[in-house]
Amino acid sequence: MENRRNEMKNEVGIGGWLILVLIGLIITPIRLGITLSSDFFPIINSMSLLNAYPSLQIMIYTEGIGNIIFGISAIILLIMMSNKDRRFPKLMIVFYVSNLIFVLVDAIYATQIPIIEQFVSSDDSLKEVVRAIIGTAIWVPYMMVSTRVKRTFVK
């Protein structure tokens, strides 16, 4: 009986696998900020290129706005996680699924723009898609069935 109480006590709080979720939420805005500054801002500064390729312009602005939204969302989720907000697991699931959809649509749209190959390799797009699929496949079920998640996010 005492062992079970100790196990239950250990399954509460941000620990275990939730540490990886926490690290991911910390890294996400940083990684997206680096991506925006290294990939998008140089292209946006080349207005002649954007004017010559309207489909590239749509993609760049959509991807930039999407990355900003995901970065802000990660910060909000980080705050919710630290406050042990009961809405965190559901919103984290929405975050992962919407990120997967965004990355897939972006990759498909990018294949339709021939000039995009000058800026982003197909390997980079594939890596992002695989990263999103793996992250969603691991963390969505974890958020749904984890005892630690159920016991931690109760406020």
Please name which of 80, 83, 82, 102 lies closest in space to residue 91, comparing C-alpha atoms: 80
Q: Tell me the pLDDT tens digit for each residue of 126-149.
A: 888 999 999 999 999 999 999 999
For 34-79, the three-class secondary structure string (H helix, E strand, C coil) is HHHHHHHHHHHCCHHHHHHCHHHHHHHHHHHHHHHHHHHHHHHHHH
Terminal Cα distance for the chain, rounded: 27
Residue 15 φ then ψ, to 5°:
-155, -170
Residue 119 to residue 133: CA distance in whole angstroms: 23
Q: Check residues 118 and 30 and name the one with the higher pLDDT.
A: 30
Q: Where are the domains of the chain?
A: 2-146
* The pTM of the whole model exceeds 0.75: yes
* Beta-carbon contacts of residue 71 (< 8 Å; ≥ 6 apart): 28, 29, 32, 33
47, pLDDT greater than 80 = no
